[in-house]
Structure 1
Amino acid sequence: MLWKISFLLYADFTEGHSKTGVEILEKRADILRETCARDFHISPQKGRFKGHHDILVSFQATDFSPVNEGFYKDQNQLFRTRKAQPERGLRICVPWKCASQYVKHIHGVVISQSEEQRRLTGDKGEENLKSSTVLIARHPFVRLISSWNDKFLRVNIQSAPMMKRSNIDRFVTHEHETHRISFEDFVNYLVYAAENKEKINHHFAPQHIMCPPCVSDFDKILKVEHLKDEMVALFRNHDLHVPELEETYHEQTGGFGAAEKDKLITKVRARLKTIPTETIWKLYKFYKKDFDILNYSFDMNMLKIGGF
């Protein structure tokens, strides 16, 4: 049995809630398919996968020959393509800012392991090799705040170039101690950019653009709000043992979104309280498709996020 791991990066990974193991991930996918068919009149073709944020752990019963192998660079990430397709495996589409650094870290760990280290048991029987096509999702407002908190930190070397490329400086009304732009000013920029159809950086763009949920045939959905539990459940379902799944990995310190659910709800409410109601509605409209398709919720009166 030949094992192969190919990495089509642009990645961001999620977590898990293991009360019912993988069943809860599959139930979310069932709800997703129903939503796509009912509200958007789209039914994905069986086995179809669309999305450039992708980690792939594949299993092949016969020799895997690298025919017409090519290497491409995009966004400073290396994409590796092969003509042949895997028979079975674990394929994951991960939008930016849905735990991408965690996913990159886990991918690096997995590819450095031998086949025996990756396997949870010594049984390599073909009947135990499962296939999964997985989508990683995150609450749109949690992802938004996390993106701002990370990408515009003054200590983040990406922050100044990002401000310049999108001409975000025009929305800065006052100097912020830790960030190049305050959250309030950043939200004003984002709403303006969306309304005027300006190009928006992928870290702040809706998730469904990067991993189209109604086009790909996802059979499991992980949510970042339960990242570790659900990742462990997913990997165990594929008989993969990766102790590093229990670790938390951030590119920057002080990451937003790693708190317990109640604390996370409180932190989001505190951020949104400073934003005018009309502006919050515009934000919600910008991310509405993510809310609808990924089954996340937001109570405008209470400024309370939900759908985890």
Structure 2
Amino acid sequence: MMATRFSERKYLLKEKCENYNGSIPKDVTRTLRDAFLYSRKYSFLICVTAKGGASTWKTHLLRMNGYTKYIKYPHETSLKKRMIAQKLLSRSQLYRKMHREEEEVIRVISVRHPFSRLVSAYTDKFKNGSLTVPGKNKLNLYEVALGLMGKPVSPFEKVSVPFSVFLRSVIKENKGGAVDMNRHWRPYSSNCRPCHVPFDYIVKLETFEEDLRYLVLKLGIKEINVTTQMNKSSKSKSPTYEAYYRDISDDIIAGLYAIYKEDFRLFGYEVPQFVKDALSNTGKTDR
């Protein structure tokens, strides 16, 4: 069953990319190089994007690469050299492992439902709307959203940032293209070159534990604890991601879908009914 699941995901990605007939959307051709993690021991190369399981995968890669100390925060700069592919490989080596099918390497991409990922970014980085404005040297993550608040804010001031304001800031950030967006909500199709890198396995956060358990057994990875999942909230206490969009305007939802539609298409995520309704109500099409 699991082998079939991965085969179907891989086939769908290949089919969708072929359907572009040589005119792949510009954003799908981009690469965020430090999104690729690597384990030399297992010849394992994975592209993982912020708010798409990055903390968990970085923890696993550190273990796969022999790091045995307690890991409180896997994004520490001092740990990058132990797992970031561009730190472990030369530029030419990384290129070959990303693109050459004859290379002996397992290529994996980790993805998440785009609108669920936005909720995760909001609840984490914007503290679910109850934000203490950071100092000026850390303001860049929030300045677009705070600029849409319609009033000046000062460092260390406590402010309430509605989800709708956050979503409007995401749309505004995208005006110059995905490359200008913060990595925590930049489309992962703009980070991992999914139509250029021949990924062997597509792991989804929605089926993460099952997917990971299969890979661990298939590849003989001994260092991974399959039950480890960082930043995992209790489903019984957390509202579903759809609940966050209940009062969001059709224009905002349609604008968001235009940004993330390739993430939906390439990885087989079903477009929610509320998004279809928004597209219909605004006269937009799913193209």
Please indicate, yes or no, whether the TM-score normalized by the shorter chain is above 0.5.
Answer: yes
Determine which structure has the larger helix proportion and give its number.
Answer: 2
> Which of 188, 191, 197 does residue 216 from structure 1 map onto?
197
Identity of aligned residues (%): 20
Task: Report the equivalent of 2:56.
Answer: 102
Distance in 2, matches of 1:206 and 1:283, equals 11
After superposition, the Cα gap between the structure-2 partners of 1:103 and 1:170, relative to the gap in structure 1 and judged at 3 Å, is same
Deviation at residue 141 of structure 1 after TM alignment = 0.4
Are 2:152 and 1:170 aligned? no
After superposition, the Cα gap between the structure-2 partners of 1:155 and 1:26, relative to the gap in structure 1 and judged at 3 Å, is farther
Asked if the contact 2:32–2:191 (Cα under 8 Å) also holds between the matched residues in 1, the reply is yes
After superposition, the Cα gap between the structure-2 partners of 1:146 and 1:196, relative to the gap in structure 1 and judged at 3 Å, is same
After superposition, the Cα gap between the structure-2 partners of 1:131 and 1:200, relative to the gap in structure 1 and judged at 3 Å, is closer
Unaligned runs of 5+ in 2: 25-30, 69-103, 278-287
Q: Deviations over 1:79-132 (max 9, x none)?
A: xxxxxxxxx722111122111111111122222379xxxxxxxxxxxxxxx842
Deviation at residue 42 of structure 1 after TM alignment = 7.1
After superposition, the Cα gap between the structure-2 partners of 1:188 and 1:160, relative to the gap in structure 1 and judged at 3 Å, is farther
TM-score by length of 2: 0.67
Instruction: Kindly report which structure 2 residues correspond to 1:65-76, keeping only aligned pairs within 5 A, or say none.
Output: none
Distance in 1, matches of 2:57 and 2:135, equals 20
Instruction: Kindly report which structure 2 residues correspond to 1:5-24, keeping only aligned pairs within 5 A, or say none.
Output: 20-24=1-5
- Aligned alpha-carbon RMSD (Å): 3.5
Task: Report the equivalent of 1:5.
Answer: none
Distance in 2, matches of 1:40 and 1:151, equals 38
Task: Report the equivalent of 2:37.
Answer: 55
Asked if the contact 1:97–1:146 (Cα under 8 Å) also holds between the matched residues in 2, the reply is yes
Deviation at residue 178 of structure 1 after TM alignment = 8.6
Unaligned runs of 5+ in 1: 1-19, 44-49, 60-87, 115-129
SS in 2 for 1:236: helix
> Which of 213, 230, 235 does residue 259 from structure 1 map onto?
235
After superposition, the Cα gap between the structure-2 partners of 1:206 and 1:160, relative to the gap in structure 1 and judged at 3 Å, is same
> Which of 28, 31, 36 does residue 9 from structure 2 map onto?
28
SS in 2 for 1:133: strand
After superposition, the Cα gap between the structure-2 partners of 1:26 and 1:299, relative to the gap in structure 1 and judged at 3 Å, is same
Deviation at residue 57 of structure 1 after TM alignment = 2.4
Aligned length: 228
After superposition, the Cα gap between the structure-2 partners of 1:201 and 1:164, relative to the gap in structure 1 and judged at 3 Å, is closer
Deviation at residue 51 of structure 1 after TM alignment = 5.2
Deviation at residue 297 of structure 1 after TM alignment = 1.7
Determine which structure has the larger strand proportion and give its number.
Answer: 1
